[in-house]
Amino acid sequence: MTTTSTQVNPVLRTPPASPAAAAAYFSASLAFHADVSDVASALATAAADGTDPGFVVIDSRSTASWDQGHVPGATHLPTALIAGQAERLLDRAVPVVTYCWGPGCNGATRAALALAERGFQVKEMLGGFEYWVREGFAYETWEGPAEKTADPLTAPVEGECGC
């Protein structure tokens, strides 16, 4: 008896989920995450219109990190202080978007968990402060406003990415 074996490449070694399972997963992911560009766009539109964006941005990093640079208008609330200060600083009726350093850091995830456990609606900003800066959005430091040219590997040089 001869058997023929077909090798499956690493991508398909584990088959894709069913379309229904994939839709449920990706829909849930969007309920938990926001990306840097969407946060920046919503904040810019609200500022231009003189309206409220409908959410508050929380920087969960240390004071030294905050001073080095942070999203304009963000509230500084280090993860270690959430238990003692979230009730005083935040309104449970207003969704919260957390961020930390970047995709290699799970500080924003820990902050989001701490806030969710206290009854706050929360999303995590994917990419964190690193991608905020890399995508060319203005930021604030202890010395004042700052901005860098967008990294063409993370943001389109002209226009929108279309995603």
Q: What is the pLDDT of residues 113-142, one digit of tens each?
A: 999 999 999 999 999 999 999 999 999 999
Please tell me the predicted confidence (pLDDT) of residue 156: 77
Q: Among the listed ranges 3-12, 21-30, 116-125, 142-151, which one has the minimum average pLDDT value?
A: 3-12
pLDDT band (50, 70, 90) for residue 147: very high
Q: At what angle do helices 107-117 and 82-89 cross, to 10 degrees?
A: 70
Taking the C-alpha atoms of residue 51 and residue 112, their distance in angstroms, rounded to an integer, is 25
What pLDDT score was predicted for residue 43?
A: 97
Q: Which pTM was predicted?
A: 0.88
The helix or strand, by DSSP H or E, that contains position 76, with its residue range, turns out to be: strand 75-76
In the numeric block, which tokens belong to residue 87?
């009730």
Q: What is the pLDDT of residue 108?
A: 97
Q: How far is CA 4 from CA 1, 7, 9, 77, in A?
A: 10, 10, 16, 60
Residue 159 has pLDDT above 80, yes or no: no
To which H or E segment does residue 28 belong? Answer: helix 19-32
Q: How many CB atoms lie within 10 A of CB 138?
A: 14
